[in-house]
Amino acid sequence: MSRIAATFARLKAEHRLALIAYLTVGYPRADVTPSLVEAAAQSGADTIELGIPFSDPLADGRTIQAASQLALKGGMTVKRALEAAAAARKKTNVPLLFMTYLNPILAFGLEGFCRAASAAGVDGLIVPDLPPTESAELRRAADASQVDLVFFVAPTSSEAGIEAACRAATGFVYCIAVTGVTGARAHLDEAVLPLIASVRRHTTLPVVVGFGISRPEHLAALEGKADGVIVASALLDAIGKAPDDPATQVSRFLRELRPLPAR
């Protein structure tokens, strides 16, 4: 069983929502990602999503775009992101996923990228601009390296589109909570609950909600309905408030978002 599957199985048995923390690799500094992964894992993150910076991140809002640009200016590359993931893996056993766009993977080479990601200890891959209907080649490469491939569905997705994403996905299905790009929001879109129900009709994989998750009440609203949530822009915003001490910011934000249970 993969780390991702094992984590969701454990959390399901514990009746807990998975908390997935998104970090841009190389933000706010090139050398800091492994320590931020460790801080997130120690502060309640059940899984970590590592965004590989890209110059044209179409699905990302202002916060992630700014973090990506800063990381790129700091010299972050796909190769260095792989090295950062390998260093992070030494600090934690929680599942790690890469989020990146198709062009960097193609430039690296599909099979080579998947092999390198697996060797670095990465468990899954999220590619926002890859439609399920065009994913066969990457899916073969990912399967060969035992890397899960996650696909998106949105409130605007057709039933056929949802079915295609569910059929192509491994690991989990990523439900976009809002229409548009990433970014922290005050309220969740009411369409997310019917979307979760639609996904459940087509797959037994865990259903994870992202885009706009930023408050404890968002987690409360999805408890018992989704299997996990991804917090991204709000966490990067917190890091940006004190870039000289990002690990403390990560810990503080995640503990306030979902306090750790008393021991």
Residues marked as catalytic:
49, 60
Amino acid at 63: T
Question: CA of 6: how far to CAs of 13, 47, 143, in Å?
Answer: 11, 11, 17
d(C-alpha 71, C-alpha 29), whole Å: 7
Between CA 169 and CA 174, with CA 173 as vertex, the angle to 5 degrees is: 130
Phi, psi torsion values for 230, nearest 5 degrees: -115, 125
Strands 207-210 and 96-99: unpaired
- How many CB atoms sit inside 10 A of residue 165's CB? 25
